[in-house]
Amino acid sequence: MTMPFYVAPEQVMKDRAEYAQKGIARGRSLVATVYADGVLIVAENPSRSLHKISEIYDRIAFAGVGKYNEYDQLRVAGVRHADTKGFAFSREDVDARSLANLYAQFLGNVFTHEMKPLEVEILVAELGTGGRPDQLYHIAYEGTITDEDRFAVLGGEAETIAERVGADWRADRDLGEAIRAAVRALGGPDRSLTSTDLEVALLSRQNGRRTFRRVTNGELDTVLAGDPGAALDAGGDRGRRRTSGGPDDEAAAEGAVDAEPPPG
């Protein structure tokens, strides 16, 4: 009589966790940090078209590390959910916490019930308004949510980079100081990252209703050079990347990329 093949549930969960962790660790890291006027997100990403950081809604940003095609599907789903909720109720009803909960439920279900877990870690950030604090929600591959109040590090050598960020963190930093500190933490003592290695975006209280914008390479070069006159928040629209419509238009434009790069 043939004996049925049996694997203990604990071993199954352990194997899935190791598989996801290895895929995420192969990717390049990402740092999100609160600064004086908002939330800054800096990712090591040499691609100019395959974005790790994107806008979800007026005050909400999304960032991911791991397999691009997997976290980009999550981004598009978040944009659609936020757009539908904002249309059905009001724009103020769209918040990062509910989005983070939805992402956590989905990732947890996939990790528990599917053969292969998603090799991703994602971040949902919301700019605080009306005296409310900024929000950073780090969602892991198995659906665990961590509410960060100062900074979050995803992917790659996350623990080592987090130690560097924590040692250099101040709440009253301006945007230029925050960018340089995040880049130093990502590069470490042995590497010097340039603007072509980086993707930088922010949620700023200086930018009006649509608080999200990307920092262009020219601006980034100026900031990394330590120019004290580089006030990126001033003017709001300087270097801002806009689409002709709402956030769903950006989702369609960025989601049209067919190529899948290596994890990261």
How far is C-alpha 105 from the geometric centre of its chain's CA atoms? 18
**Extents of the domains making up the chain:** 22-254
Closest listed residue to residue 185, CA positions, set 166, 207, 170, 165? 165
Residue 244 scores a pLDDT above 60: no
What value does the mean pLDDT take over residues 15-20?
Answer: 94
Higher-confidence residue of 26 and 125: namely 125
Is residue 204 pLDDT above 70, yes or no? yes
> What residues are paired with 63 via a beta bridge?
53, 123
The model's pTM is 0.84
Other C-beta atoms lying within 10 Å of the C-beta of residue 241: 13
Greater pLDDT, 226 or 197: 197
Who has greater pLDDT, 257 or 25?
25
Check whether 235 has a pLDDT greater than 60. no
Residue identified by tokens 């950030």 is: 125
**Residue 55: pLDDT band by 50, 70, 90 thresholds?**
very high
Q: Which range is most confident: 3-17, 200-214, 219-233?
A: 200-214
pLDDT computed for residue 34 by the predictor: 95
Pairwise CA distance, residues 244 & 264, whole Å: 29
For residue 196, what pLDDT is reported? 93
Length of the chain: 264
Question: Residue 234: pLDDT above 50?
Answer: no
**235 vs 31, residue with greater confidence:** 31
Q: Residues 233, 234, 240, 244: what is their CA dihedral angle, to the nearest 10 degrees?
A: 120
Mean pLDDT of the chain: 85
* 156-194 pLDDT per residue, tens: 889 999 999 999 898 899 999 999 999 999 998 888 999
Q: What span, in angstroms and rounded, lies between the C-alpha atoms of 169 and 20?
A: 29
* pLDDT score for 217: 84
Separation of CA 93 from chain center: 21
Q: Which pLDDT does position 249 carry in this prediction?
A: 44
Task: Give the per-residue pLDDT at 27.
Answer: 85
Binned at pLDDT 50, 70 and 90, residue 146 comes out as very high
Q: What integer pLDDT is reported at residue 73 of this predicted model? A: 96
Question: What was the pLDDT predicted at 253?
Answer: 39
Please state the rounded mean pLDDT for residues 133-153. Answer: 95
Q: What is the pLDDT of residue 232?
A: 61
Arch. (CATH architecture) of 22-254: 4-Layer Sandwich (3.60)
Average pLDDT over residues 94-120: 95
